[in-house]
A and B are shown apart, each in its own frame.
Chain A
């Protein structure tokens, strides 16, 4: 079974802090994704990566950056956290090539005070 692990289930940070959300997958998947989920808006893609050191902007990349130094790890970075980044963050991974299901981690509920 695919295992996607997010480093924290709950996280509370202050406005202006630099925040790191970590995601690790154990199935040698090429693709990794970061989504945020907000009430009434569903899940929206922030960034994704299809290879080490590669990244592509999703639908809402503003205020975020990402890092993929190793194939199994994909980090989401909030350079200077703001209250409107309070949300549920979900990481996913999949094999490359289309026609492949995405597998999700348990999510990190982030609160910015």
Chain B
């Protein structure tokens, strides 16, 4: 099956700093999503981005499908950005078989 690797596994930053999280995947994909899991365990959908660039406030994401990676940028970090960020991809499989494969996540800690 498709492999998903995220880096770095852990990141500790001062409030106000910028960060870049990376997701590499091993095959062509139909779907790529970035999620933020908050300290209460809720999984929040940040971006649906199988290709191209999207921005939402201080967050933006870029997926280069031909090179099989995606980047999540967080600017001017705030303590509420802390949590685990997951990348998940859906491989180009059989129709009706749209399952996501998750990376193991990047744990981001923002220090005041």
Contact = CB atoms under 8 A, between A and B. Distances in A.
A107 B43 contact: yes
B88 interface: yes
B100 interface: yes
B99 A41 contact: no
Nearest to B32: A101
Contact of B45 (A41, A48, A59, A101): A101
Contact of B33 (A44, A98, A102): A102
B103 interface: yes
Contacts of A50: 96-98
A101 B31 contact: yes
A43 B37 CA distance: 11
Interface of B: 1, 30-31, 33, 35, 40-43, 45, 48, 50, 86, 88, 90, 95-105
